[in-house]
Every structure is written in C-alpha cells, then in structure tokens.
Structure 1
Amino acid sequence: MIQGSMVALVTPMAPDNTLDWPSLRDLVDWHLEQGTNAIVAVGTTGESATLDIAEHLSVIKAVVDQVNGRIPVIAGTGANSLAEAMELTEGAKEAGADACLLVTPYYNKPTQEGLYLFHKTIAEQVAIPQLLYNVPGRTAVDMLPETVRRLSELPNIIGIKEATGDMVRARTLIEQSPDDFIVISGDDATAVELMLLGGKGDISVTANVVPRALAELCELAIGGHAEQARALNEQLMPVHRAMFVETNPIPAKWALMQMGRIQSGIRLPMTTLSGHHHESVLAALKDAGLV
C-alpha cells in the first residue's frame, strides 16, 4: 500500500552536473534503513525538468533496482507534452516502478476539461497505477476538486498529491473521493493536518534530511494521534522552513551536501543555495542534530 512518508528524492550530481550513481544508491539505502515508506524518483525535487528522457528513466530504473521491492517506488512522469508524459509513464512501467506521479501540465494553462482529457488519455493507455499531482504554485494551473473527482473514477488513477496547503480543499477531496482513492500531502508544513483529516501520507521534501522523523510523524498522524503528531511537527518546523528558503530542491541539496551525503551538483537554471541563507539553514540542521 502506498502511504506514510514518501521522500521526494533529490537526484545526486557531481560538481560537473553528471549523475552521481553511487550517491543515489547510498541515499536509497539510507532511506530504507531510516524507515521511509516509499520513494518518489525524479519528481520536482529530483530535478525532472533538467534531466533528459534517457537520464530520467535511468534514474527511475536505478532506484527500482536498489529498492528491490522492499518499499514502493513512485516515478515522476509528468510533462506538459502528452507524448513526453506517455513516453515517461510507459518507460517507468517497463523499469518496474510501482506507480507514477503525474504533475498537471505546466505552462500550457489548460482548462479543467483539458486536464481531465490529458490524464484520462494516459491512464487509459498505460497500465500502471497513477497519482495526480496538483501544485499550482509551480505549474500555473489548479486542478479543481470536481476534476479530481471525475478522474478518480478511472481505474488506474489511484490518488492525488495535493500541494496547495489548503485544508478546506483537502477535506473536500477526501470527502468527495471514492474510499480507495488516496489523498497525499505535498506540503510539508501542513501535511500533519491533511493526514489527520484522513489523508494517507506526505510526499516530502523534508524527508530528504530527516527521514526517520518524517516516518514517525506520518505514522502518528495517520494513526490519529493528533497531539503527538502536532508536537513532533512543531519540532520539525524549522527544518520545514529551511527546505523552502529558496526554490526546491536548492536548500535540500545544499543541506544534504553539508551532511556529507551528496556532492554539490545542481543543474541550471537552479543554482546552489545563496550565501545569505547558509547560516539559517545550517542552524536548522544543527538544531535537528544533522550536522
């Protein structure tokens, strides 16, 4: 079952921005040891926008092989081109991914009917479980609950990563969706509240640096232990904030570099963390015992 703490894994790169395969394998092993419940490979945090299709599918295959069936692997396969999204989703299926995560087609600014037909086409043509991904702050398009409800009726579409942070929206999605349709947070700061409403987990940026704590947080929240979950989330809030002082995955990759887990590579137009943020991010990592 896909639920719990699902790390939106960074894609490690060498200083020359070639893919760093040993660090990728080490990160996967670390998440397995720390209790992460699922891995999202090559989502937004994995710099999907700057990897070519061959690299994209190679990273998915490497993660699938390293995990070796121990936890689910969710492949980021969204695009603003239907042909590209189809190719990536089919490729992820062939690589052995357990499910795919498809962001709403960005930049095009489609209508709700366009969103429906885009995801419907992929779901009907590629036989792999698919999660919708709504993050209007990055895509300039908002998939409304009514469109989600229509798509939830399709057999291959099993859930949504909802990253608006809007709890009214989250409640609507949970109440209007079929019982077997899962609603997952894509916003670390508010993930606890979504899970306490009945959501099934968090696709998390923060889990890149504190995987064990995020796994515990999700277990508490999904289990309905509101007081304990909120208390732990309050402890993690400085790390949540630190991971978003600049555009994701800039802070997460810099933090993991400080922790000695990856090298410095990040591809343009992303840049390494600005110097004026170093002190605050480092302070959050020190307070959490990470460096």
Structure 2
Amino acid sequence: MKKIDGIVPVMLTPFTEQNEIDYPGLARLVDWYLHQGVDALFAVCQSSEMQFLSLKERCELARFVVQRVNGRVPVIASGHISDALDKQIEELQAMAQTGIDALVLVTNHLDPQNRGQTAFISTLDALLAALPAELPLGLYECPAPYRRLLSDEELSYCANSGRFVVLKDVSCDLPTVTRRVKMVADTPLNIINANAAIAYPAMLAGSKGFSGVFTNFHPELYHWLYHHGSQHPELAQELATFLSLAAVTETLGYPKNAKIYHQRLGTFGSDLCRVNKDNVLEKFWGLSVLLEQIQTGTEFYQKKITK
C-alpha cells in the first residue's frame, strides 16, 4: 500500500472549446501540480466534474493521469457517481483497472436515500466483495448530491477493515477532525481535511495534509504549511489566514474561476466547464480583481516561505 498523505489536489479537468477533454492541457496541469511539490493527486473527483463525465471519460482521465505522473506521487481517483448498486459495481470495477494507487468511494452513494448505518454498511459490504482485495480504498464525503458525513461507528468499521487508506474529511469542523484522527490512530486510514478555514489547526491536530479546492490555486503554500509550518509558527499563522480568506472565492463560480486562474497562468486555454456554464466574471462583480489579488498574494508568500 502506498501511503496517501500530505497535499492532495482535487484535480480540474480542462476541456477544449469543442467540449472534449483537453489532454495536452491536462498534461501541463499535472506537471504544474508536480512542480508545486504536491504529495499525491486526486483525479476524477467533484472538482474534475466527474458527475458530467461518461464512464469511458472517467477511466481514460484516470489512466492518463497515472501515465503522466509515472510513479512520482500516488494517484487516487473516484468516479463514483451512481446510486444503483449494479452501476456502482460497474463503474468502480472499471476505475480499479486504470492503474490508480487507491480507489475512492463516495459516502453519499453508499447510502443514497440517507437511511442510516444499516443501509450504508450493506452497500459497502457488497462493494468490498466486488472490488479487488489488493487495491487500497479511500472515502470521500463529497457534498454532491448531498453531504453524507460518516458516523463514528461507520468510520471505525471502515478503518478496522484494513482496506481503507484515506478519508477526505468534509466535516469542516475541527473537533470532528480531531476526534476522527484519534479514532483511526492504530489503523491504515489517514484523515485528510478539506476545509481551508481550519487547514492549519487541523494539521496541528493530526490531519495528514490537506485536500481542499484551493490546492488548484496555490498547493505549494499548503505544502509548506503542512511540512514546515510548525517550525515557523508566526509565519504559519499569517499564511493560514491568507489561505483561509483566499478560499472564500470558491463560492464565486468554482471550478470555472480556477480554470480562469489557470488560463492566466498559461496552463491551458479554455475555461469551459460542464458543471458551470455561467460567465462568472460578469456574474460575480470583482472576481477578476480577486483572482489577480490571489495571484499577487501567492507570489508574495512564495517569496516569504523561501527566505
């Protein structure tokens, strides 16, 4: 099992203006993440617009990322979008064959009607029986179609199975993250927080990194915070405040605003989104200026952390 921890970007999917996956742009995006020093990559997730990708596209996307990364960091992927059990098995078995280092299950699809623990465990057991026993698994409390947080009992069940190596925690609650870290301490399962507002205190509480959406803007700053922040507490707290405030921009048209950011960086050419067709620069007044300020602030802190 490869260890999944550290800074794990939730990858974007660049599209061409013809609404096809832009693989040259995706190659440059992968290279950009790696250049920023990320510890793993989460391909085919909500930020990847996985609910708007065909099964074929999801699997091709994961396979391409695995090949481009070529073993430099672990690659995990989900693509878990169906509610019907037979469809879940089909899509997860297909994703399991792409060469990824861990297959991530979405918690709301394990209990699509939100019926509770019995339904969750029943679906989970059926999937565990259908998936390769040697393939490490992850869990993702994806907010869409609804945010299905794990109960303590469900988390313990998964952790003690020995099959799971990572939970992308979307509780957005520091006491919950802290409790969960203690619960899984003697298991292979790592808790990785996804909420920027608590990113640094969650790291101090034992979260094994960060996997929030602003890893698409400045993953190198989160990398420094996780790996070096405790040695520079004053700068770490200052940086954590900047990262928290910058991440509020998620509400202004993400992931399209992240694609505009990468257009400006030159990573890829189109801001086309399947999940968001709005002209977000017109819809959200001041967004263009905010993106410029985020870039300026990022460059400012890049210099501060390298002194």
Q: TM-score, normalised by structure 1?
A: 0.90
Q: Which residue of 1 aligns with 2:205?
A: 197
Match of 2:131 in 1: 126
* Stretch of structure 1 that moved more, 161-170 or 83-92: 83-92
- Would the aligned equivalents of 1:101 and 1:131 in 2 still touch at CA under 8 Å? yes
Q: Alpha carbons of 1:120 and 1:17: their partners in 2 closer, same or farther (altered >3 Å)?
A: same
Paired residues in the alignment total 288
Give 3-state SS (helix, strand or coil) of 2:271's partner.
Answer: coil
AA aligned opposite 1:230:
Q
User: Helix, strand or coil for the counterpart of 2:166?
Assistant: strand
1:80–1:104 Cα contact (<8 Å) kept: no
Give 2:39's aligned amino acid: N
Q: For 1:139-167, what per-residue CA distance to the aligned partner results, in whole angstroms no more than 9, with x for missing partners?
A: 24332222111121112122311112111
Matches within 5 A, 1:233-248: 233-242=240-249, 244-246=250-252, 248=254
- Alpha-carbon distance in structure 1 between the residues aligned to 2:277 and 2:39: 28
For the pair 1:278 / 2:288, whether they are aligned, the reply is yes
Residue type of the alignment partner of 1:123? L
Q: Which residue of 2 aligns with 1:76?
A: 78
Matches within 5 A, 1:34-53: 34-53=36-55
**Cα contact 1:132–1:157 (8 A) shared by 2:** yes
Counterpart-to-counterpart distance in 2, 1:283 and 1:227: 22
Read off the aligned partner of 2:289 and give its amino acid letter: E
- The residue that corresponds to 1:105 in the other structure is 108
More deviation in 37-46 or 86-95? 86-95
State how far apart, in whole Å, the 1-side matches of 2:95 and 2:279 are. Answer: 29
- Mean Cα displacement is larger for which, 270-279 or 91-100? 270-279
Structure 1 portions without partners, runs of 5+: none
> What residue ranges of structure 2 are gaps of 5+ in the alignment?
301-307
SS of equivalent residue, structure 2 residue 211: strand
Determine if the alignment matches structure 1 residue 252 to structure 2 residue 258.
Answer: yes
**Residue matched to 1:96:** 99
Q: Distance in 2 between matches of 1:157 and 1:224?
A: 31
- Give the corresponding residue for 1:288: 298
How far did 1:58 drift?
A: 0.4
CA deviation string 1:191-242 (max 9, x = no partner): 2221111111111321212122222122135x67654433321232343222
Identity %: 24
Letter in 2 for 1:252: A
**2:223 — aligned with what?**
215
Q: 1:271 to 1:129 in 2, by over 3 A?
A: farther
- Deviation of 1:136 after TM superposition, in Å, equals 4.7
The code of the aligned residue for 1:258 comes to R
Range moving further from structure 2, 90-99 or 117-126: 117-126
Q: 1:77, CA displacement in angstroms? A: 3.0
Aligned partners of 2:260 and 2:271 also within 8 Å: yes
Whole-Å separation in 2 of the counterparts to 1:117 and 1:248: 34
Greater Rg by CA: 2
What is the SS of the residue equivalent to 1:264? Answer: coil
Partners of 2:114 and 2:278 lie apart in 1 by: 26
Question: 2:24 corresponds to which residue?
Answer: 22
SS at the partner of 2:251? coil
The aligned amino acid for 1:104 is T
**Alpha-carbon distance in 2 for matches of 1:123, 1:230:** 41
Query: Is the 1:13–1:265 contact (alpha carbons within 8 Å) kept by the matching residues of 2?
Result: yes
Quote how far apart the aligned CAs of 1:186 are: 1.5
Q: CA–CA distance in 2 between the matches of 1:285 and 1:41?
A: 24
